A and B are shown apart, each in its own frame.
Chain A
Amino acid sequence: MSRALALVTSRGGRAASLALLLLVLVSFPGWGGDYWTRILTGVTMWAALALSWNVIGGYGGYISFGHVAFFGIGAYTTALLMKPGTGWNFFATLPVAGIVAAAVAVIVGWPVLKLRGAYFAIATWALAEAVAQIANGVGFTGGSSGMSLPINASTSFFYYAMLVACVLSFGVCYVLLERSRFGYRLKAVRDHEVAAGSFGINTTAVKLQAFALSAVIPGVLGGIFAYWITFINPASVLDGSLTDQMVVMALVGGLGRISGAAVGAAVLYLINQQFLASFGDTTSYIAVVGALVALIVLFRPDGLVSLFARGNQTRLVWQLLGRAIPRARPSAAQRPGKTKEHA
């Protein structure tokens, strides 16, 4: 058992299983059927959204409670550009959606990222409320009755659009956060801002870049989502519960882990669909999400994925065998990224 798990988590094994996963994902519309393709489109979208939240929340150490604002801004940008009269090509609108979202992130992030984390949480949240109210109130967004987009009924078109966006997001985030100097700088700032600053890192700039990165992704995804559902209004693309869902997915998956977002998104999205199917509403789902966030923070702050981390697995196996934990294993407290924060 433990050997099989070790094989999956080894470097070569990981690459192989990733390739296999990609193969399954690419070929899925061919054999999975329309219903499951749509479900999987949702999963890939939420995986990328949870990842984007994780960039600033898990890697940056700043919790954004208004991430839905960027999603909604992206959705409205695409909708406005594709309107008859403007009539842009769908793919041309996506970069614009991403850039607009990032620009808003920079403008809002610049003053508050210098302050304590609480201010950032408040400001992002207030931003989301304000954006929703503006979209409701002004004329060109259609107010609460929303906007319609041209109809494209192809299920696989949106599946592949989401998949490409999702894979690109994961690829870019992996390289930037785990394999580049930017990632080191960001983690250094998160773990000890003063020390990072004394090494010559421009801490505000690093945080601002991370926030812009984490806003581009929902901006682009929002654009794809708008075209997918062909009709958007503030209740569908600017609702606070979308942020709740990103937060809980990232927490379930584990903060500051690339793979965590995908796991959290898959688990939560399927639960969400099950709730919709069996209760027909989402209000009870909101309560479940809230309870889940609270419980994870209380009992599993490293996320559910930490249950399957390598050290824990072997420890679990040893415990099941009734033996003592081998001493050479690094304990949870000694792993990197565990220093006390100064938020």
Chain B
Amino acid sequence: MSLLIQTILNGLLVGGLFVTLSIGFSLSFGVLDVVDFAVGEWVMLGAFAGVASTTWLRIDPIAFLPVVFVFFAVVGWLVAPLIYRVRNSRNARPALMALAFTFGLATLARGGMLTAVGFDPRTVKIGVVQGTVTLGAVEIPTLRLAGFAFAAVATGLFMLFLYRTRTGLAVRAVAQNKEIAGLMGVDVKRTSNFVYSLYAGLTSMAGVLIGGIYSITAQDGPTYTLMAFFVVVLAGLGSVGGVLVAGLVLGVLESLVTVYVSADFTLAIVFGILFLVLVISPRGILRRGTA
């Protein structure tokens, strides 16, 4: 029984990080109208930035988080106009071409990192938070707790920004209807760039913590892309609120499968459920997304 509680709790704590990496992804889909296949690569790159901070700079990755955020936000700011350009180009099939473009970027990131660091798994050594916290019969790794705390703060700030600021209002307007948002004086292109760079920074910060909880290799990007997809499909594509629930569901699911079935089948089971959701309710479990 305590194993079950332990497993669910571990899953919920990691689920927080899945929420963080999916929420920006979902929003950037809403604003740019492009499913970003590079989402997992941001996680992978962020984790390797964390590895670099401990091995080269000897700074604790937690203290390094703001640097990771700024760096990847800048990278995202540089990439976003290209995606925007492809998405709004006048060639035959802009939506598909934009998909292919982010797919190309993801492949480039994966191939580049594989060439640079090889296939060996690394772990981000987070020194500040170690050991476990004992709560009755269950033991919670402090790192997971810290990861969840980070996710809660980051997601909370993100939601505050989205629902309590004028820029956030503009972002939501663009996600709803680009043309009308443009007519209301919102600079759609600037907003898109802004959201994408925010998302890149947020996701790579989550990557640092994910790289601390699990080990990571340069070819792990697609796994996390799949996780993010799972979350947003379960939530309904473009629905930010659904992500909060779906991310936690994924965390618990992954944890349960790893403990009670086998880690070898996580992706297969995740895919099975993804498929069922698409068959039964393509707009997500809360029926808020767009089909």
Q: Give the chain A neighbours of B93 by CB distance below 8 A.
A: 61, 255, 341, 343
- Considering the chains assembled together, what is the distance between the CA atoms of A244 and B99 in angstroms? 13
| Stretch in B62-70, B139-147, B167-175, B272-280 with 4+ CB within 8 Å of A | B272-280
What's the minimum C-beta distance from A121 to chain B, rounded to whole angstroms? 6
- Nearest-neighbour CB distance to chain B for A330, whole angstroms, equals 15
Q: Which of B90, B95, B222, B265 contacts A117 (CB 8 A)?
A: B95
Q: Name the distance in Å between A141's Cβ and chain B's nearest Cβ.
A: 12
Q: Which of A46-81 touch B at CB < 8 Å?
A: 57, 61-63, 65
Q: With a CB–CB cut-off of 8 A, which chain B residues contact A240?
A: 222
Instruction: Find residues 275-318 in chain A having any chain B CB closer than 8 Å to their own CB.
Output: 281, 283-295, 297-298, 301-302
Q: Which residues of B contact A294 (CB under 8 A)?
A: 82, 101, 104-105, 108
Report whether A63 and B105 are in contact in the complex, using a CB–CB cutoff of 8 Å. Answer: no
Interface residue SS majority, chain B: helix
Stretch from A126-134, A149-157, A167-175 that touches the partner: A126-134
B272 touches A130 (CB 8 A): yes
CB-based contact B265/A290 at 8 Å: no
A119–B264 Cα distance when bound, in Å, is: 25
- Once A119-B233, A122-B229, A290-B109 are accepted as A-B contacts, the answer to whether A301 and B97 lie under 8 Å apart by CB is yes
Contact of B264 among A133, A255, A287, A290 (CB under 8 A): A133
Chain B residues closer than 8 Å to A285, beta-carbon distance = 111
Asked if A341 contacts B96 (CB within 8 A), the reply is yes
Size class of the B contact interface (CB-based, 8 Å): 35 or more
A83 part of interface (Cβ distance < 8 Å): no
- A sample of 27 inter-chain contacts (CB < 8 A) reads A61-B93, A62-B96, A63-B103, A111-B275, A115-B278, A115-B282, A116-B237, A116-B290, A122-B274, A123-B274, A125-B225, A125-B229, A126-B226, A126-B275, A129-B271, A133-B267, A255-B92, A286-B111, A287-B112, A287-B115, A290-B107, A293-B100, A294-B104, A295-B104, A297-B97, A302-B91, A338-B92
Chain A residues close to B by CB (< 8 Å)? 57, 61-63, 65, 108, 111-112, 114-119, 121-123, 125-127, 129-130, 133-134, 136-137, 240, 244, 247-248, 251, 255-256, 281, 283-295, 297-298, 301-302, 333, 337-339, 341, 343
* Chain B interface residues toward A at CB < 8 A: 29, 35, 37, 82, 85-86, 89-101, 103-112, 114-115, 118, 222-223, 225-226, 229-230, 233, 237, 262, 264-268, 270-272, 274-275, 278-279, 282, 290-291
